Amino acid sequence: MFPLKDAEMGAFTFFASALPHDVCGSNGLPLTPNSIKILGRFQILKTITHPRLCQYVDISRGKHERLVVVAEHCERSLEDLLRERKPVRYCVISG
């Protein structure tokens, strides 16, 4: 993981859509909850690193399909830097 430099840490939360309780797959086994699927896919996002990109740091699953994502963020966006006519090559892109 690259150093934060101008970035800070932030967290946001959302709810994955819940599956009906009485639904099973074609094999008769219960379906995998959507939050578990998202956790698995998130592992790929954690591997993306670049000095000009904010990174996803971690994800946590709570009760009732709640997910909390921890990521770097920058106070100023690329749009802000372009408005100020700052050179883009020196900016840290937030995502």
pLDDT tens, N- to C-terminus, the chain (95 residues): 555 566 788 898 999 988 887 778 888 888 888 899 999 999 999 998 887 788 899 999 989 889 999 998 888 777 887 888 766 555 445 54
d(CA 95, CA 38): 18
The pTM for the full model equals 0.66
* H or E element that contains 56: strand 56-61
